[in-house]
């Protein structure tokens, strides 16, 4: 049955004008593809008990092929504008994404746009339901974290003719509308700093490498830089955990319990570093005299703790501001999506690192 529906759609779309082909899928498209009236499609979607099973099946197949999503009342207006932007961000909490989201919200607000935020559970980050919900609300554009989302998400956004901006993006796969930085280069920068100070034995408290492309890229930058300069980061000196103060504290305890040797500790973000430093000091170890510590992000507290934290600056707020500007360029000026933009990540040297003096 699906093949018959697809063939019907091919014949219909060939007769359309070029302009019509680039519009979002409508209820009329679904009706034509399924060979029924618009009112039948509406009933099948909203009152399925009023439509026969075979017809419902044919309509659902058309909906699936077209990627059609029933949209909110605001999108039914002639202007098709709701002045809302939807963003899917899986985690804010102790991550740096909060700064990005707030800067994005402020930038959109200056243009009288409202930000709608969807946050899927960490274990369900590929589930398209949050994205579908935003589209159903009639958003005018979509913001997604990085550009490693499933291809089905891309198809859904494209089928609904929505501008897309990717934030915290992988610089090696940067499409128009991508705004981020090079995580590999950030890891390399931290490694080079510690190597320059004479450190050769390292430990690393990381985010979950299997599910976090940014953590993997930073890890790769560290690992390859250490390997090229005689540094050692053995597997038993690497702990993967969630980002947070408690997790950093517990990871540092685990590292010391393993009796591994390291003079420098790198942490996947500043919260991990703060927790790790707290545990290290509780054992009598001195920072940086006994162990140097480096973080990532340059969180607001990093310069106020003692010792102040050496960290790689992530342009969290800048990403949100630039994302808002890119969207406004498309939505209010009818301009093309700007090219990908990769931002610098300088190392902020503070008091938690010092030259290594072999004992």
Same domain, 170 and 193: no
Say whether pLDDT at 252 is over 80: yes
Question: Is 99 exposed, middle or buried, given 0-12, 13-18 or 19+ CB atoms closer than 10 A?
Answer: buried
CATH, residue 132 = 3.40.50.2300
Same domain, 190 and 307: yes
List 180's β-bridge partners, or say none. 169, 342
> 257: which 2 tokens?
């319990």
286 phi-psi bin (left φ>0, alpha ψ -120 to 50, beta other): beta
Same domain, 305 and 188: yes
Cα gap 77→288, rounded to integer Å: 62
Whether residue 215 contacts residue 204, with contact meaning beta carbons closer than 8 Å, is answered with no
Residue 353 lies in a domain: no
pLDDT of residue 148: 67
Question: Is 103 exposed, middle or buried, given 0-12, 13-18 or 19+ CB atoms closer than 10 A?
Answer: buried
Same domain, 239 and 307: yes
Q: Which of 125-129, 229-233, 262-266 has the lowest mean pLDDT?
A: 125-129
- More confident: 349 or 95: 349
User: For the whole model, what pTM was predicted?
Assistant: 0.77
> What is the number of structural domains in the chain?
3
How sure is the predictor about 147, in pLDDT bands with cuts at 50, 70 and 90? low
Name the residue among 223, 224, 228 with its Cα closest to residue 238. 223
Over pLDDT 90: what percentage of the chain?
A: 60
pLDDT digits (tens, 9 = 90+) for 91-114: 776 668 889 999 999 999 999 999
């Amino acid at each position: 049955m699906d093949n018959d529906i697809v063939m019907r759609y091919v014949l219909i779309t060939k007769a359309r004008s070029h302009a019509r082909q680039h519009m979002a899928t409508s209820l009329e498209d679904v009706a034509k593809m399924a060979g029924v009236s618009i009112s039948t499609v509406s009933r099948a979607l909203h009152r399925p008990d009023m439509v026969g099973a075979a017809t419902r099946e044919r309509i659902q197949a058309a909906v699936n092929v077209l990627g059609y999503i029933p949209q909110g009342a605001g999108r039914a207006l002639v202007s098709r504008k709701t002045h809302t932007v939807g963003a899917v961000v899986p985690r804010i909490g102790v991550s740096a994404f909060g700064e990005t989201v707030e800067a994005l919200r402020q930038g959109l607000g200056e243009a009288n746009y409202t930000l709608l935020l969807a946050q899927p559970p960490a274990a369900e980050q590929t589930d398209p339901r949050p994205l579908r919900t935003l589209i159903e609300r009639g958003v005018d554009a979509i913001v997604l974290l990085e550009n490693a989302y499933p291809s089905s998400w891309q198809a859904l956004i494209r089928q609904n003719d929505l501008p897309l901006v990717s934030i915290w993006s992988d610089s090696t796969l940067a499409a128009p509308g991508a705004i981020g930085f090079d995580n590999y280069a950030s890891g390399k920068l931290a490694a080079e700093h510690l190597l320059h100070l004479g450190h050769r034995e390292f430990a690393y408290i990381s985010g979950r490498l299997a599910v976090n492309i940014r953590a993997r890229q930073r890890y790769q930058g560290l690992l390859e830089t250490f390997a090229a300069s005689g540094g050692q980061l053995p597997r038993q000196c690497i702990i993967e955990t969630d980002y947070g103060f408690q997790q950093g504290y517990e990871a540092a305890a685990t590292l010391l319990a393993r009796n591994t040797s390291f003079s420098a500790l790198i942490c996947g973000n500043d919260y991990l570093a703060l927790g790790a430093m707290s545990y290290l000091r509780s054992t009598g170890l001195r920072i940086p005299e006994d162990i140097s510590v480096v973080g990532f992000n340059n969180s607001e507290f990093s310069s106020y703790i003692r010792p102040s934290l050496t960290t790689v600056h992530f342009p969290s707020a800048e990403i949100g501001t630039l994302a808002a500007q890119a969207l406004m360029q498309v939505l209010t000026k009818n301009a093309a999506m700007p090219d990908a933009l990769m931002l610098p990540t300088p190392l902020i040297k503070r008091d938690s690192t010092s030259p290594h003096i072999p004992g």
